[in-house]
Amino acid sequence: MESAMTDKVRVPDLLRMKAQGRRITMLTAYDYPFARIFDAAGVDALLVGDSLGMTVQGQHSTLPVTVEQVIYHAQMVARGSRRALVVADMPFLSYQASVEQALLNAGRLIKEGGAEAVKVEGGEAIAPTVRRLAEIDVPVMGHIGLTPQSVHRMGGFRVQGRAGRPGVRSREMLLKDAAALEEAGAFAIVLEAIPAPLAAEITAQVHVPTIGIGAGPACDGQVLVMHDLLGLSACEPPRFAKSYATLWREVSEAVARYLADVREGRFPDAQHSYQE
């Protein structure tokens, strides 16, 4: 059933939602059918995440994902979205080499992919790129804390903001990262795998919305990977994720019933066959 929430969500709406104390909802999406379902349900934003490397492609990290692949998936999500803001991840090495590279690739994600905003990982170091993108009116969502494109430096997918641990950015670094992104013109900041008290401090510090994933309840909004939300993985979801369905099991059971029906001659039956 289509949602009654039909007003198109745009960048200023997320800023307004923070000011009004309204929680922002965000999910990843990678194709047309799920984009339609999530959009019709009333989600505020859809993220075409480079997480597709792991959830769709079966990679061990997000690093192999290319700009062309994000464009391909963004096109499907954009066609399926009527209300939600569509944000596309800028994958590894699509923006780090130079500002000019970032401008061209962000432009492609919007012009070819149909995205309405882009997301980049990093804090102070990436702020000049965020500023330049914002100057040419490309809406940029930041992402700090556990940044999956930094998995090798971090030594794995590790909680950030805890002092004195190798590969971990400190509380002070993350506070500076958030301030730098806001000052550079980011319209929102994803906080991933950060202790809840620190995420609350960052959320109170910045005037732009924070979107949490493993960052506690004080963020202005939350994002989940759709495969975690729907139980579409054979593995247990991360500690911070909550599964609202068990589709892996349900799909497996449906396939098992289909195989049995075919092998035992129950499908197709007369109802599912054409007659003269």
- Catalytic positions, please? 192
Half-sphere exposure of residue 261: CA atoms within 13 angstroms, side-chain side: 11
Structure tokens at 271: 């109802």
Q: What is the DSSP string of 73-121?
A: HHHHHHHH-SSSEEEEE--TTSSSS-HHHHHHHHHHHHHTT--SEEE--
111: β partners: none
Give the residue ranges of DSSP H helices in the chain.
Answer: 11-20, 32-41, 52-55, 67-80, 99-111, 127-135, 151-154, 171-184, 196-205, 226-230, 247-263
Structure tokens at 223: 């994002």
3-state class (DSSP) for residue 230 = helix
Q: Is the separation of the CB atoms in 182 and 195 below 8 Å?
A: no
Report the alpha-carbon distance of residue 55 to residue 183 in Å, rounded. Answer: 33
